[in-house]
Amino acid sequence: MVSPEVAAALAGGRPVVALETSIVGQGLPAPHNLRAALGCEEAIRAEGAVAATVAVLDGQLRVGLAKGDLERIAAGSRKVSSRDLGPALALGRAGATTVAATMRAAGMAGIRFLATGGIGGVHRGHPEDQSADLVELGRTAVAVFCAGPKIILDLRLTLERLESLSVPVIGYECDELPAFYTRRSGCPVSARVDGAEEAARVIAAAWQTGSSGIVVAIPPPAELPDAEALVERSLREVMATAGDVTPRLLAKIAELSGGRSLDINVDLVVNNARVGARVARAYAGQARR
C-alpha cells in the first residue's frame, strides 16, 4: 500500500526517497531510533522531496508511514529482509524492513532512491555469510545512499562481491570508501562524483546502460575516534557468545564508546537522507529537461 502523499509525488514526477525501518526496530535503541527516523524524514522534506518510509503492518507492505506507524515498529517488530516479506505479510506480522526488503518495496512502487545508515555485506572471518542487501543491489534498480558498508564487515570482500554483481560504488565527494564511523577504509570507490547534479547524471547514465542497484557512499559528518580498535575489541567479546551478531556488535560498540557511536549513527543517517533527497531532486529536474 502506497500512501496518498507518496503516490501523488510519484504521479507528478516529484522526488521521492525511500527509508528502511530496521534502524527503528532493531538497529538503534530508544530514543535514538525514532530520532533517526523522524530526522531523516524531516531532512528529506527540507530538500523538497517526499519521504517514503517502508514497513510491514497489518498484513500490508506500507510505503509511506505516519508517526504512529513508526512508533508501532519501535514498540515491537520483526526484522524483515527480502526473503521474509511473504511470510510477514501472510501471517500479519509487524515487520521492520532491511535495506534489501526496502529496495524491493521501493522498486515495486517505482521509487529509485533510498537512504540508510550503512549497507550489509560480507562478514569478517565468514565469507559465506553475505547480506541479502548485496543480492538485491544486483537485481533492483535503486540508488542506495549510505556511509558505506557497516564497519564490522569485511570491506574488501564486500567490494569484491559488489563488483561481481556489477554494482557501481560511487563516492560522493570522496575517492575512498567510507567505513560507516570513519571517512577512510583504504578501499577505492569505482567512481567519484562532486555534487548532486553530477551524481544524478552518473546515476541516470548507469541505469541507461543496464545497471541495477547503485551504491552512493557518503563520508560521515563526524568520525568515531579509534573506531577500528573498538570494532576489534567488540568482535572479540561478542563472537564468544551465541545469537544474532550484528545488533550485539553495534550495542557493544555503543557501550565501549560511551554512547558516542549512537549519536554519530543518527547524524550520518540523517545526512545520507539529506544528500539522497538532493540527488533525487536533481535527477527529477534533469528528467524534465
Asked whether 254 and 261 are in contact (CB, 8 A), the reply is: yes
Cα separation of 140 and 240, whole Å? Answer: 36
Cα separation of 170 and 191, whole Å? Answer: 5
pLDDT confidence of residue 155: 95
> Is 20 assigned a catalytic role?
yes
User: Residue 33's closest CA among 3, 65, 95, 75?
Assistant: 75
Report the 3 state secondary structure along 20-79. Answer: CCHHHHHHCCCCHHHHHHHHHHHHHHHCCCEEEEEEEECCEEEECCCHHHHHHHHHCCEE
The average pLDDT across 164-183 equals 96
Cα separation of 172 and 215, whole Å? Answer: 10
Contacts of 155 (CB under 8 A, 6+ apart): 121, 148, 149, 177, 179, 185, 187
pLDDT confidence of residue 243: 60
pLDDT confidence of residue 283: 98
- Extents of the domains making up the chain: 4-288
261 three-state secondary structure: helix
HSE toward the beta carbon, residue 158, CA cutoff 13 A: 31
pTM score, two decimals?
0.95
Contacts of 43 (CB under 8 A, 6+ apart): 270, 271, 273, 274, 277
pLDDT, mean over the chain: 94
- Min mean pLDDT across 16-20, 113-117, 209-213, 227-231 is at 227-231
Please tell me which residue in 41, 150, 176, 252 is annotated as part of the active site.
Answer: 150
Q: Model confidence over 31-89: pLDDT tens digits?
A: 999 999 999 999 999 999 999 999 999 999 999 999 999 999 999 999 999 999 999 99
Please tell me which residue in 20, 41, 136, 176 is annotated as part of the active site.
Answer: 20
Task: Output the CATH code of domain 4-288.
Answer: 3.40.1790.10
> Is 150 assigned a catalytic role?
yes
Contacts of 242 (CB under 8 A, 6+ apart): none
Cross-strand bridge partners of residue 79: 96
User: Residue 54's closest CA among 111, 130, 105, 112?
Assistant: 105
- Min mean pLDDT across 11-25, 140-154, 219-233 is at 219-233
Q: Model confidence over 231-288: pLDDT tens digits?
A: 888 878 876 665 667 778 888 888 888 989 999 999 999 999 999 999 999 999 998 7
In angstroms, how far apart are the furthest CA atoms of the chain?
57
Cα separation of 148 and 121, whole Å? Answer: 10
Asked whether 17 and 277 are in contact (CB, 8 A), the reply is: yes
pLDDT confidence of residue 242: 59
Strands (E), the chain: 16-19, 50-57, 60-63, 78-80, 95-97, 113-115, 122-123, 126-130, 143-146, 169-172, 191-193, 214-217
| DSSP 8-state secondary structure symbol assigned to residue 98 | -
